[in-house]
Amino acid sequence: MEGQLGLSSMLAARGDVKLLATWLAIAAQLDKDIDGLCGNPDPEAARRLFFTSQALMEKFVIERISYDTIEDWTEHSARIHRQLTAMDDPRTEFPARLHAQLDLYDSAVHSDDGRVTVDRCGIWTYREQRRAAGTPITLTSPCEFCTRSVSANARHQKLAATVRLRERGCDWTFA
The CA-to-CA distance between both ends of the chain, in Å, stands at 26
Res 19: pLDDT = 93
pLDDT score, position 35:
65
C-alpha span between 105 and 121 (Å, rounded): 8
Report the mean per-residue pLDDT for the chain.
91
pLDDT at 27: 83
Alpha-carbon span 37 to 45, nearest angstrom: 8
For the chain, give the longest Cα–Cα distance: 46
Q: Quote the pLDDT of residue 37.
A: 66
* Percent of the chain's residues with pLDDT above 70: 95
Q: How confident is the model at residue 86 (pLDDT cuts 50, 70, 90)?
A: confident
Q: Please report, for the chain, the start and end positions of each structural domain, with discontinuous segments joined by +.
A: 2-174
Calculate mean pLDDT across residues 86-102: 93
Task: Note whether 124 and 51 are within 8 A (CB).
Answer: no
Does an H or E element contain 108, and which?
A: strand 108-112
pLDDT score of 28? 83
**Averaged over 89-103, what is the pLDDT?**
94
The CA distance from 128 to 111, in Å, is 25
